[in-house]
Amino acid sequence: MLLKRPFTEDAPVRWLTVFARELESRESSGVIRPVVGVRSPWSSLRPVHPFPAAFIALDEELVSGGAGLAADVVVSGSALDWCRQAANWVNETGGDLNVDSRGLNQRVAVDGAARYMLRGLHVDANAYVSSADADAGRAAHATVSRNGQLVCQLYNADPVLAAQLERVREMLTADPAVTRLGFVLGTQRRVLDWLALESRWPALGSLTPPLFRRNDPIWSSQVPDACGIQLLTQRHLDRAADLSAWQVEELCPGRYLVEAADVEGWYGPHGPSESTLAQARSDFGAMIVDPA
Q: Is the pLDDT of residue 69 over 60?
A: no
Percent of the chain residues past pLDDT 70, beyond the cut: 85
Whole-number pLDDT of residue 128: 93
Pairing relation of β-strands 74-75 and 104-107?
unpaired
pLDDT classification of 168: cutoffs 50, 70, 90: very high
Question: Cβ–Cβ contacts within 10 Å for residue 223, how many?
Answer: 21
Q: Is residue 30 left, alpha or beta, with left meaning phi > 0 and alpha meaning psi from -120 to 50?
A: left
Residue 215 phi/psi, 5-degree rounding, is -80, 80
Q: Is the pLDDT of residue 58 over 90?
A: yes
Q: Is the pLDDT of residue 260 over 50?
A: yes
Nearest C-alpha neighbor of 134 from the set 233, 8, 47: 47
Provide mean pLDDT across the span 203-215.
77
pLDDT classification of 211: cutoffs 50, 70, 90: confident
pTM of the model: 0.86
Average pLDDT, whole number, for the chain? 86
Predicted confidence (pLDDT) per residue in 94-142, tens digit: 888 999 876 677 888 899 999 989 988 888 889 999 998 877 778 899 9
Q: Alpha-carbon distance 201 to 188, whole Å?
A: 15
Query: CB under 8 Å to 128, separation ≥6 — which residues?
Result: 99, 100, 101, 117, 141, 142, 143, 192
> Among 21-30, 42-51, 210-219, whose mean pLDDT is lowest?
42-51
Provide mean pLDDT across the span 198-208.
78
Whole-number pLDDT of residue 56: 97
Q: Is the pLDDT of residue 82 over 90?
A: yes
Give domain limits for the chain: 35-287
Provide mean pLDDT across the span 209-231.
91
